[in-house]
């Protein structure tokens, strides 16, 4: 069924009025609920809008969407550590942390990996090629809202060290356009 232009105009006017009068808290609650639903359903990301060589890869026998070549290589590195009994296990993007009282801006954070040590300790790992303002905000808010969560940021230098040692040892390691790990 199609609406007439008159009906569309009335609906538009009422909608603008409703959202114009809605409180910031109500709008924030609606946005938070929508994001939580997307996370629960597994469609919080749109793989077609990825970059930095984002795509689906099978690593460790599990097919997942990795947002970058570095992230995929780090997953391969964790598989190698697990095979050598240096870690107990690892998971890719298992937990979303919410900043409940934040009403605008960055309201959640999804670390790249959860690494479980041999002693059962849990540390979240974030692979970061560069630190933009949004990433800085997420990390600051993690310290405030989830201070007991252990978080390790893998930046360019540490990734380069891992890559230089492991790239020749790990099958399917991905290189950049210049052939560098």
Kindly give the confidence (pLDDT) of every residue in the chain, 181 residues in length, as a single tens digit, with 9 standing for 90 and above: 688 999 989 988 888 888 788 887 777 777 777 777 766 666 555 545 544 688 889 999 999 999 899 999 999 999 999 999 999 999 999 999 999 888 888 899 999 999 999 999 999 999 998 889 999 999 999 999 999 999 999 999 999 999 999 999 998 999 877 777 8
Query: How far apart are alpha carbons 34 and 150 in whole angstroms?
Result: 28
What's the pLDDT at 75? 97
What's the pLDDT at 112? 96
What's the pLDDT at 50? 46
What's the pLDDT at 139? 95
Q: In three state form, how does the secondary structure of the chain look?
A: CCCCHHHHHHHHHHHHHHHHHCCHHHHHHHHHHHHHHHHHHCCCCCHHHCCCCCEEEEECCEEEEECCHHHHHHHHHHHHHHHCCCCCEEEECCCCEECCCCCCCCCEECCCEEEECCCCCEEEEEECCCCCHHHHHHHHHHHHHCCCCCEEEECHHHHHHHHHHHCCCCCCCCCCCCCCC
- The structure's pTM equals 0.73
What's the pLDDT at 173? 93
What's the pLDDT at 51? 46
């Amino acid at each position: 069924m199609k609406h007439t232009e008159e009906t569309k105009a009335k609906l538009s006017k009422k909608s603008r009025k409703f959202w114009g009068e809605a409180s910031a808290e109500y709008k924030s609650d609606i946005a938070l609920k929508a994001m939580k639903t997307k996370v629960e359903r597994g469609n919080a990301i749109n793989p077609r809008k990825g970059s930095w060589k984002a795509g689906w890869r099978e690593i460790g026998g599990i097919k997942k969407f990795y947002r970058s070549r570095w992230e995929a290589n780090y997953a391969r590195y964790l598989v190698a550590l697990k095979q050598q009994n240096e870690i107990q296990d690892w998971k890719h993007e298992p937990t979303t942390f919410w900043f409940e009282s934040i009403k605008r801006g960055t309201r959640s954070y999804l670390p790249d990996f959860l690494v479980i040590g041999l002693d059962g300790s849990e540390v979240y790992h974030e692979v970061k090629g560069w630190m933009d303002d949004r990433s800085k905000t997420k990390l600051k808010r993690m310290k405030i809202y989830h201070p007991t969560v252990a978080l390790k940021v893998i930046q360019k230098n540490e990734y380069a060290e891992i890559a230089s040692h492991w790239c020749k040892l790990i099958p399917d390691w991905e290189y950049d356009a210049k052939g560098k790990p």
